Amino acid sequence: MSEHAASSSEITFAHAPAEGTGRIWKVFWLLSAVTVIELVLGFGLAKHWYGDPATSHAMILFVKGVICILSLAKAFYIVSVFMHLGDEIRNMIMTIVVPLCLFLWFIGAFLWDGDSWKNLRNTNAGSRPAQTEQHHQPAVDKDAKK
Amino acid sequence: MSTTAMPTNTKWWNGGRSPFNASYGKVMMWYFLMSDAFTFGAFLISYGTIRFSVNSWADPNQVFNAFPGFGHQNLPLAFVSLMTFILIFSSVTMVLAVHEGHKMNRKGVEKYMILTILGGLAFLGCQAWEWTHLLTGEHIAMLGDGSLSVVPTTVKMNPWGTHVAADAVAAALQSTPHDKLVEIASTLQHGGAAHDLTAKSAGELITAIQASPELHVTHTGPIAFGGYFFGITGFHGFHVFSGVVINVVMWAKTRLGHFDERGHYEMIEKAGLYWHFVDLVWVFVFLCFYLI
């Protein structure tokens, strides 16, 4: 138990195995709790906010942003604890995390581009004012009456 | 660098010391996962770009609202929550298998590998049900030519567009051929007595269709929805499937005592890295397709 067998003679360091499974279960409950919060927020988007004209577009975007941040938190715990990346030495962590920073540009640039396409299409490349077709779909229960 | 004194017999990973004090296999698994993250990331960003470029997109709470055994009840997010918790739990059993491996406890590793494999199979079963449900779904949609039809969700058809108002539906019914009217009327009755409907005239069918309280007609939505959904969840499902295969191999090798002979259970750790990555990707697939 105390002696973690190294897989080869090249390796002189092994992160000490955890004494118990407490940390694993703690992260499990944390991931579950975050997922439940995400589901509540997602369900709120469905039942009360979509199709309700009183809900501002900014409010929906804010809730979606919160859900995105919660997902990033889940990703951090999975990588750091379940995949034990947090226990590796710093240089190895950096060779994996630094290239992933490309995503910052990748996501920003492409979503910006998608939004630009939409505006060009709606305004016929700027030659007429935007048609506000930004309608959310009404919820199912409202439609059933029609 | 060339002037740096370095023993000529130093061969990284092959007699000297590992650069990151980790085994070659583990480091390379991390780099493979990093490249796989870029593949998944590119798919999801492409999906996001297309979604940002159109005025309306399918509302996930309408598309994914079914649960096996609950018929036509509207249960948004319920089934996908089950799938998410299955995957989180199988991630926990995997990390427990790695933990038992550190303790050189063969029986413990076997037990948790079996539980992880069962979790993976349960997830694949759920995904098979969900795909079948979408591919065989029956939705009344207004096609591009202005007629109505009963269509499923496929890579070529997206019935999840915006709602069609009642007067537009009435006009569209007039230009809908008789066989499609029979299909629509049959769908509204949940498939009952289709042969009786064929005998009815178009006018009778239209009256019956418009009288149905369940009549809900949508425009077709952006065609890319099905391609992205089935493409990305399919690519993820393929990763789950290959993860299950890898885990079965690891379980068999554990059972045969191969890792006890080697003196360490590092292969379980490497399989575990892959399995956790599958869970990690699901966090983002869940986010992009179901939550927002």
pLDDT tens digits along B151-163: 999 999 999 988 8
Which chain A residues are Cβ-neighbours of B53 within 8 angstroms?
Answer: 114-115, 117-118, 121
Q: Answer for the pair B24, A90: CB distance below 8 angstroms, yes or no.
A: no
Task: Kindly tell me if the per-residue pLDDT of A11 is higher than 90.
Answer: no
CB B271 within 8 A of CB B247: yes
A131: which DSSP letter?
P
Q: What is chain B's mean pLDDT, rounded?
A: 89
- Is the CB of residue B287 less than 8 Å from the CB of residue A74? no
Looking at residue B2, its pLDDT comes to 45
B30-66+75-134+225-291 belongs to CATH 1.20.120.80: yes
Name the 3-class secondary structure at B151: strand
Inter-chain Cβ pairs, chain A and chain B, closer than 8 A: 199
Could you tell me if B61 and B76 are in contact, meaning their C-beta atoms sit under 8 angstroms apart?
Answer: yes
Q: Which carries the bigger pLDDT value, residue B60 or residue B123?
A: B123
Q: Report, as an integer, the average pLDDT of B127-146.
A: 91
What residue ranges do the domains of chain B occupy? Answer: 30-66+75-134+225-291, 139-219
Model pLDDT, residue A3: 40
Average pLDDT over residues B236-261: 96
Higher pLDDT, B84 or B18: B84
The answer to whether B56 touches B241, Cβ cutoff 8 Å, is: no
Q: What is the largest CA-CA distance in chain B?
A: 94
pLDDT at B189 (0 to 100) = 80
Provide the 10 A C-beta neighbour count for residue A79.
Answer: 20
- Are A10 and B18 inside 8 Å of each other by CB? yes
More confident residue, A22 or B119: B119
* B201-210, B214-223, B279-288 — most confident range: B279-288
Distances (CA, A) of A135 to A54, B56, B161, B166, B276: 13, 7, 11, 18, 38
What whole-number distance in Å separates Cα of residue A2 and Cα of residue B103?
Answer: 8
pLDDT at A126 over 60: yes
Contact B55 A118 (CB under 8 A): yes
SS3 A2: coil
Kindly give the interhelix angle for B266-285 and B224-255, rounded to the nearest 10 degrees.
160
Average pLDDT over residues B80-90: 94
Mean pLDDT in residue range B135-159: 90
The listed range with the strongest mean pLDDT (A6-10, B9-13, B191-195, B255-259) is B255-259
- In this prediction, residue A138 carries a pLDDT of 42
Report the pLDDT averaged over residues B114-142: 95
Residues of A in Cβ contact (< 8 Å) with B267: none
CA distances, B26 to each of A54, B83, B182, B269, B271 (Å): 53, 28, 60, 8, 10
Average pLDDT of B248-262?
94
* Measured distance CA(A143)–CA(B71) in Å, rounded: 19
Residue A1 has pLDDT above 60, yes or no: no
Beta carbons of B45 and A99 less than 8 Å apart: no
Reported ipTM: the value is 0.83
CA distance B94 to chain A (A): 9
pTM, two decimal places: 0.86
Q: What is the model's pLDDT at position B14?
A: 60
| B20 to A91: CB separation less than 8 angstroms, yes or no | yes
Query: Dihedral, CA atoms, B112, B116, B122, B124, nearest 10 degrees?
Result: -160
Considering only the beta carbons, identify the residue of A24, A43, A141 that sits closest to B96.
A24
Distance CA B259, CA B113 (A): 14
Q: Are strands B148-151 and B218-219 parallel, antiparallel or unpaired?
A: unpaired
Determine what percent of chain B falls in helix, strand and coil, rounding each to the nearest 5.
Answer: 65, 5, 35
The answer to whether residue B233 scores a pLDDT higher than 60 is yes
State the average pLDDT over residues A80-102: 90
Please give the single-letter amino acid code of residue B200: K
Q: How far is A127 from chain B (nearest CA, A)?
A: 18
Which residue would you say has higher pLDDT here, A10 or B48? Answer: B48
The angle at the Cα of B127, spanning A69 to B229, to the nearest 5 degrees, equals 60
The percent of chain A in helix, strand and coil, each rounded to the nearest 5, is 65, 0, 35
Q: Are B218 and B141 in contact (CB under 8 A)?
A: yes
| The dihedral sign for the CA sequence B252, B107, B267, A25 | positive
Chain B: give the shortest CA distance to residue A129, in Å. Answer: 15
Structure-token pair, residue B242: 């290959």
Cβ of residue B258 closer than 8 Å to a chain A Cβ: no
Q: Residue A2 pLDDT more than 90?
A: no
For B18-74, the pLDDT digits (tens) are 778 788 889 999 999 999 999 999 999 999 999 999 988 888 888 888 888 887 778
Q: What are the sequence ranges of the domains in chain A?
A: 1-90, 101-146
